[in-house]
């Protein structure tokens, strides 16, 4: 059997009588690219925050890299990378300084940081900008940098919350190349997106509707099951049933 890096059982997050996440259960295997889809307000970000140890579940449990989201959040945090919806590198630090800081707090040695950060900057084609403040970079470059920083310490899993929002198609394509490379090196990718072409790139996709997980399969199987020829159509058929309004 494949190694499971995320095992989620009836995970629930309740705010008052509102179920943001309602008993979702799923597994994610090592090295998999797992797409996490849903309309705005479907509960994707809430679920992801629980899996990252940023939020307590109301009931149910999940093991991330073998640690429980109920009481072992700090151990989870050592094993994951996280790239949030909002750009969250330090804008008033340079590219190299950001890599140094985040690499450092994840336990990468100073020597390794030094060696690898120059290599990384080279791969991103940002040699000239290495000492520039991150705030001055265009959005697409920022997102690629943020992704590189989030996997710099070789985490077991990386959580990407709408990483390509507002990014141009060419850069998005490059971004997905980077995701494939990371996946090939054994990092599990857990990604949310609103772009259906991106959903096609995933190994498996789950679709959340009103806090519940309505579908979970490979893109091909989902298309067959719903008799559609595109993911766009599958998503539309599922999300149309939603009673909650966006955001």
Partner 1 sequence: MRNLRFLLQKEFRQIFRDKIILAMMLGVPIIQLIIIPWAMNLNIKNINLSVVDNDHSTYSQQLITEIGSSGYFRIISADQSYRQALEHIENGSSDLIMELPDGFERNLIKEGRQTIGISVDAINGSRASIGRAYLGSVINDFNANLKINQVNLADTLTKTQGFIEITYSNWFNPHAEYKYFFVPGVLVLLLTMIGGFMTALNIVREKEVGTIEQINVTPIKKWEFILGKLIPFWIIGMILFSIGLCVIWGVYGITSTGSLPLLYVVAGIYMIALLGFGLLISTYCDNQIQAMFVAFFFILIFILMSGLFTSVQSMPPWAQYISEFTPVEHFIKIVRMIVLKGSGFYDVLTELGYISIFAIVLNGWAIWNYKKTS
In the complex with partner 1, the residue whose CB is nearer, 48 or 207, is 48
Write down the least CB distance from residue 202 to partner 1, Å: 22
Write down the least CB distance from residue 56 to partner 1, Å: 6
Write down the least CB distance from residue 133 to partner 1, Å: 8
Q: Is the dihedral of CA 119, 123, 128, 133 positive or negative?
A: negative
Write down the least CB distance from residue 215 to partner 1, Å: 28
Q: Which residue has the tokens 């479907």?
A: 42
Distance CA 117, CA 105 (A): 15
Write down the least CB distance from residue 191 to partner 1, Å: 16
In the complex with partner 1, the residue whose CB is nearer, 45 or 164, is 45
In the complex with partner 1, the residue whose CB is nearer, 100 or 210, is 100
Distance CA 9, CA 12 (A): 9
Report the interface residues with partner 1, using CB under 8 A. Answer: 52-56, 73-74, 77-78, 80, 82, 84, 86-93, 97, 100-102, 104-107
Write down the least CB distance from residue 47 to partner 1, Å: 15
In the complex with partner 1, the residue whose CB is nearer, 190 or 235, is 190
Are 7 and 27 spatial neighbours (Cβ–Cβ below 8 Å)?
yes
In the complex with partner 1, the residue whose CB is nearer, 70 or 212, is 70
Distance CA 95, CA 177 (A): 21
Are 38 and 191 spatial neighbours (Cβ–Cβ below 8 Å)?
no
Write out the two tokens for 189: 């990718």
In the complex with partner 1, the residue whose CB is nearer, 20 or 238, is 20
Cα atoms found within 13 Å of the Cα of residue 144, Cβ hemisphere only: 23
Are 227 and 220 spatial neighbours (Cβ–Cβ below 8 Å)?
no
Give the CA diameter of the chain: 54
């Amino acid at each position: 059997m494949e190694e499971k890096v995320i095992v989620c059982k009836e995970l629930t997050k309740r705010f008052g009588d509102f179920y943001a996440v309602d008993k979702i259960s799923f597994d994610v295997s090592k090295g998999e690219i797992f797409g996490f889809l849903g309309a705005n307000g479907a509960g994707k970000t809430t679920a992801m925050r629980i899996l990252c140890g940023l939020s307590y579940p109301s009931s149910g449990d999940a093991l991330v890299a073998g640690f429980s989201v109920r009481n072992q959040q700090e151990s989870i945090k050592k094993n994951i990378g996280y790239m949030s919806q909002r750009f969250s590198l330090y804008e008033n630090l340079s590219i190299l300084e950001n890599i140094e800081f985040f690499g450092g707090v994840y336990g990468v040695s100073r020597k390794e940081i030094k060696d690898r950060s120059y290599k990384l900057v080279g791969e991103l084609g940002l040699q000239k900008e290495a000492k520039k403040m991150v705030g001055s970079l265009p959005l697409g470059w920022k997102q690629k940098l943020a992704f590189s920083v989030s996997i710099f310490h070789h985490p077991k899993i990386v959580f990407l919350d709408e990483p390509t929002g507002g990014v141009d198609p060419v850069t998005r394509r490059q971004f997905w190349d980077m995701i494939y490379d990371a996946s090939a090196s054994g990092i599990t990718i857990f990604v949310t997106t609103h772009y259906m072409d991106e959903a096609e790139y995933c190994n498996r996709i789950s679709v959340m509707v009103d806090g519940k997980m309505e579908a979970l399969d490979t893109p091909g199987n989902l298309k067959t099951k719903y008799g559609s020829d595109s993911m766009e159509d599958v998503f539309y058929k599922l999300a149309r049933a939603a009673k909650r309004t966006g955001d």
